[in-house]
C-alpha cells in the first residue's frame, strides 16, 4: 500500500537536497562526454533542437510522473510499483517498470563506470603533464593506448566502482546526501572556473553556429531516436533512479518546480559543455564527429597547448569524474534499496554484492575496446555499444512510455492529483493531458520509425 510513512531507507533533509541529489544523478557523462559527441555525429543544430523538444515534451512530464510514483510508493522502485499497482487495482504487467528499470541500471552502470574510469585516468595524465605541448598524434595515441590496455582499464573501472559502492553502503543520509551536498557545489565551482578559462580561447562563434543552426535535411529517423533516448539518459529517466530519489522526498515539496529546476540545470550543463568543447574542436580544425574519443583526444591535446593547461586540464577531468560519481550513485541505489527490502540484509551487503555483479558485467565493456573488439552482440555493435544502445535507445524510452501510461491511465486521477499537489489546477491538467496523450504518442512514433529500420 502507498503510505504516508517515511521510506525505511531515510528521507532527504529538505527539498534542496532532493534537488541536489537529482541534479547529481542527471548531470554526468551524458552531458559532458556523450551529448557533445552524439551532437557531432548527428550533425549539430537539428539534432540539438529535437533533443530540446524531447526534454520539454517527454523528459519533463515523465520526470514529474516518476518522482510522483516514487514519493507515493515510498520504497525501492520494484516494491513501489507493487504498492502502486495494488492501490490502483491495475494489472500486474505494470510491475515490468520496476524490473526492467533495475536491469537497465545494471547495464548502464557497467559501461558508465568504464568511461568514468577513463576520466580518472585522465586526471592523472593531465596532472603529470603527459599532454603538455605534445602534437595531435601523440594525444590520439594516448587514448588508443589506454583503450588497448585491458588491465589498465580494469584498474580504473575497479577504483570507480569502489568509490560508488563506498558512498551508497553508508545509506541515504550519511552516504548519498552528505556526499552530494559537498560534491555538487564543488562541481558547480569547477564548471564556472573552466568556462571562464575556456571562454577566452577558441572559436566560439562556429560552435554556436554548429549547435544551433538547424539543417533538417541532415536529420535521419535514427538521429531522432538517439535524441529521444538521450533525453531519457541525460535526465536519468525510465529506470527508477529518479523514482528511488523521489521516494526519499519530503511530502510537502512541490514536484513540478523541483523537476523544472533539475531538468533546467541538466540542459544548461549539456549546452555549456557543448559550448566549451566545440570551440576548441573548431579552433584546431578538427572534426566534430570524432565519436567517443572527442573529449579524450581533442580536449587534452588543446589543454596541453595552453598556458596553465596542465592544471586546468586536470581540473576538467576531476569535474567529469565528480559528475560521473554522483550519477553512478543513483544508478546503484534502486537495486540496493530493493535488495535491502527483499532479503532483509544490511545495506553494506546488498550494495557490495550488486557492485560486484556490475563490476563483472563491466569486464565486457573493458574488453570491447581490445581483446573482444570483433565480438558483436548486436550487428556491428560490441558489448559496450550494445549495452549503450539497448539501454538508452530501447529500455529507457520503453520504461518512460510505461511510466507515462501508468500515471496517465493506470493510477487513479485523484491519486495523481493529490501527489502532484499543484496550486494551479490548469497547469496540472496541462501536464496530465501531455502525459496521457502527447508523451506516449511521441515515444511510440519515434520508436516505430527509429527502431524498425534498425532491425531490418
Ligand atoms: N543522467 C546520467 C548522465 O547524464 O550522465 C546518466 C544516468 C544516471 C542515466 C542515472 C540513468 C540513471 F538512472
Ligand atoms: Na545528464
If you average pLDDT over residues 421-431, what whole number do you get? 93
In a mutational test of the pocket of ligand 1, which residue from 236, 320, 391, 394 has the highest number of ligand atoms less than 8 Å from its CB? 236
Ligand of minimum distance to the alpha carbon of 233: 1
Ligand 1 close to Cβ of residue 107 (< 6 A): no
Overall average pLDDT of the 326-330 stretch: 98
What percent of the chain shows pLDDT beyond 70?
Answer: 98
Distance 59 CA to ligand 2 centre (A): 11
Q: Beta partners for 381? A: 378
Nearest CA to ligand 1 atom 11: 236
Please name the residue that has the C-alpha cell 590520439: 140
Q: What integer is the mean pLDDT of 53-73?
A: 98
Name 416's Cβ contacts closer than 8 Å, sequence gap at least 6: 68, 407, 432
Any ligand 1 atom below 6 A from CB of 310:
no
The atom of ligand 1 lying closest to the CA of 327 is 8
pLDDT in tens, 12-44: 999 999 999 999 999 999 999 999 999 999 989
Residue 1 CA to ligand 2 center (angstroms) comes to 32
234 CA: nearest ligand 1 atom: 4
By the 8 A CB rule, do 250 and 410 touch?
no
Instruction: Report, in angstroms and rounded to the nearest whole number, the Rg of the chain calculated over CA atoms.
Output: 21
Which ligand places an atom closest to the C-alpha of 265?
Answer: 2
* Model ipTM value: 0.99
The closest ligand to the CA of 236 turns out to be 1
262 exposed, middle or buried (CB, 10 Å; 0-12, 13-18, 19+)? buried
pLDDT at 42 (0 to 100) = 93
3-state SS string over 315-350?
HHHHHHHHHHHHHHHHHHHHHHHHHHHHHCCCHHHH
Mean pLDDT of 239-261: 96
Question: 239 CB less than 6 Å from ligand 1?
Answer: yes
Q: Assess whether pLDDT exceeds 80 at residue 4.
A: no
Query: How far apart, in whole angstroms, are the C-alpha atoms of residue 223 and residue 209?
Result: 19
The CB of 25 under 6 Å from ligand 1? The reply is: yes
Mean pLDDT of 364-373: 98
Percent of the chain with pLDDT over 90: 83
Which tens digits make up the pLDDT trace of 164-173? 999 999 999 9
pLDDT at 261: 97
* Å from CA of 32 to ligand 2 middle: 8
Note the pLDDT of residue 277: 86
* Ligand 1 neighbour 236 (Cβ under 6 A): yes
Q: Is the CB of 88 under 6 A from ligand 1?
A: no
Confidence band of 454 (pLDDT split at 50, 70, 90): low
449 vs 343, higher pLDDT: 343
Can you tell me the mean pLDDT for 145-172? 98
- pLDDT, residue 247, reads 98
Q: Whose Cα sits closest to atom 9 in ligand 1?
A: 236
Distance between Cα 233 and ligand 2 center (Å) = 7
What is the CA angle 31-35-36, rounded to 5? Answer: 110
pTM greater than 0.90 (yes/no): yes
Mean pLDDT to the nearest integer, 213-235: 93
Q: Is the CB of 30 under 6 A from ligand 1?
A: yes
- 2: pLDDT confidence band, cut at 50, 70 and 90? very low
Task: Give the CATH number of domain 15-455.
Answer: 1.20.1740
Assess whether the C-beta atom of 327 lies below 6 angstroms from ligand 1. yes
CA distances from 420 to 1, 2, 72, 111, 381 (A): 18, 15, 10, 34, 41
Q: Is the pLDDT of residue 1 over 50?
A: no
Residue 373 has pLDDT above 70, yes or no: yes
What's the pLDDT score for residue 203? 74
Please report the pLDDT score of residue 455 as a whole number.
Answer: 63
pLDDT: which is higher, 5 or 73: 73
Pocket lining: 126 vs ligand 1, CB cutoff 6 Å: no
- What's the pLDDT score for residue 294? 87
**Residue 292 per-residue DSSP state:** G
Q: How far is the CA of 305 from the centre of ligand 1 (A)?
A: 32
pLDDT of 228 > 50? The answer is yes
- pLDDT tens-digit series, residues 70-123: 999 999 999 999 999 999 999 999 999 999 999 999 999 999 999 999 999 999
Neighbours of 308 (CB within 10 A): 10
Q: The cell 550543463 sits on which residue?
A: 269
Q: Enumerate helices (H) and strands (E) in the chain, giving the number of each.
A: 22, 0
Q: What is the pLDDT of residues 176-205, one digit of tens each?
A: 999 999 999 999 999 888 877 777 776 788
The predicted pLDDT at position 193 comes to: 86
Q: Is 234 in the pocket of ligand 1 (CB under 6 A)?
A: yes
pLDDT score for 202: 67
Question: Is 113's C-beta closer than 6 angstroms to any atom of ligand 1?
Answer: no
Distance from Cα 340 to the centre of ligand 1, integer Å: 22
Q: What is the pLDDT of residue 196?
A: 79
Residues around the ion ligand 2 (C-beta < 5 A): 26, 30-31, 234, 266
Q: Which atom of ligand 1 is nearest to the CA of 105?
A: 13
CB neighbour list of residue 128: distance below 8 Å, 6 or more residues apart: none
Residue 323 CA: nearest ligand 1 atom is 5
Amino acid at each position: 500500500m502507498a503510505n504516508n510513512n517515511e521510506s525505511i531507507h531515510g528521507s532527504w533533509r529538505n527539498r534542496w537536497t532532493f534537488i541536489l541529489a537529482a541534479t547529481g544523478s542527471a548531470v554526468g557523462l551524458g552531458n559532458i562526454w556523450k551529448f557533445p559527441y552524439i551532437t557531432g555525429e548527428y550533425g549539430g543544430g537539428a539534432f540539438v533542437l529535437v533533443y530540446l523538444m524531447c526534454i520539454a515534451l517527454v523528459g519533463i512530464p515523465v520526470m514529474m510522473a516518476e518522482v510522483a510514483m516514487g514519493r507515493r510508493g515510498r520504497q525501492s522502485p520494484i516494491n513501489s510499483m507493487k504498492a502502486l499497482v495494488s492501490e490502483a487495482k491495475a494489472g500486474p504487467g505494470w510491475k515490468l517498470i520496476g524490473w526492467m528499470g533495475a536491469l537497465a541500471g545494471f547495464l548502464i552502470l557497467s559501461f558508465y563506470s568504464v568511461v568514468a574510469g577513463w576520466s580518472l585516468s585522465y586526471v592523472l595524465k593531465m596532472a603529470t603533464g603527459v599532454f603538455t605541448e605534445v602534437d595531435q598524434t601523440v594525444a590520439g595515441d594516448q587514448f588508443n593506448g589506454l583503450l588497448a590496455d585491458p588491465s589498465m582499464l580494469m584498474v580504473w573501472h575497479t577504483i570507480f566502482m569502489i568509490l560508488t559502492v563506498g558512498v551508497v553502503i553508508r545509506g541515504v543520509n550519511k552516504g548519498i546526501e552528505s556526499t552530494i551536498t559537498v560534491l555538487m557545489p564543488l562541481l558547480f565551482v569547477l564548471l564556472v572556473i573552466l568556462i571562464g578559462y575556456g571562454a577566452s580561447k577558441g572559436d566560439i562563434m562556429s560552435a554556436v553556429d554548429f549547435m544551433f543552426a538547424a539543417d533538417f535535411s541532415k536529420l535521419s529517423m535514427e538521429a531522432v531516436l538517439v535524441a529521444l533516448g538521450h533525453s531519457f539518459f541525460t535526465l536519468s529517466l525510465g529506470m527508477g533512479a529518479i523514482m528511488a530519489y523521489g521516494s526519499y522526498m519530503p511530502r510537502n515539496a512541490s514536484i513540478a518546480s523541483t523537476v523544472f529546476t533539475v531538468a533546467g540545470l541538466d540542459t544548461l550543463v549539456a549546452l555549456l559543455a557543448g559550448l566549451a568543447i566545440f570551440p576548441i574542436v573548431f579552433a584546431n580544425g578538427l572534426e566534430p564527429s570524432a565519436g567517443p574519443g572527442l573529449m579524450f583526444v581533442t580536449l587534452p591535446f588543446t589543454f596541453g597547448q595552453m598556458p596553465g593547461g596542465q592544471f586546468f586540464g586536470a581540473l576538467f577531468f576531476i569535474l567529469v569524474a565528480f559528475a560521473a560519481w554522483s550519477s553512478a550513485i543513483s544508478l546503484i541505489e534502486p537495486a540496493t534499496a530493493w535488495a535491502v527490502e527483499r532479503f532483509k540484509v544490511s545495506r553494506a551487503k546488498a550494495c557490495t554484492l550488486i557492485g560486484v555483479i556490475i563490476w563483472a558485467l563491466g569486464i565486457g565493456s573493458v574488453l570491447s575496446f581490445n581483446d573482444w573488439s570483433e565480438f558483436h552482440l548486436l550487428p556491428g555493435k560490441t558489448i559496450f555499444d550494445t549495452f549503450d544502445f539497448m539501454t538508452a535507445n530501447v529500455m529507457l524510452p520503453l520504461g518512460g512510455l510505461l511510466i507515462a501510461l501508468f500515471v496517465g491511465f493506470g493510477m487513479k486521477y485523484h491519486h495523481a492529483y493529490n501527489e502532484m499537489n499543484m496550486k494551479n489546477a490548469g497547469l496540472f491538467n496541462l501536464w496530465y493531458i501531455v502525459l496521457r496523450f502527447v508523451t506516449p504518442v511521441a515515444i511510440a512514433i519515434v520508436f516505430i520509425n527509429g527502431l524498425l529500420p534498425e532491425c531490418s
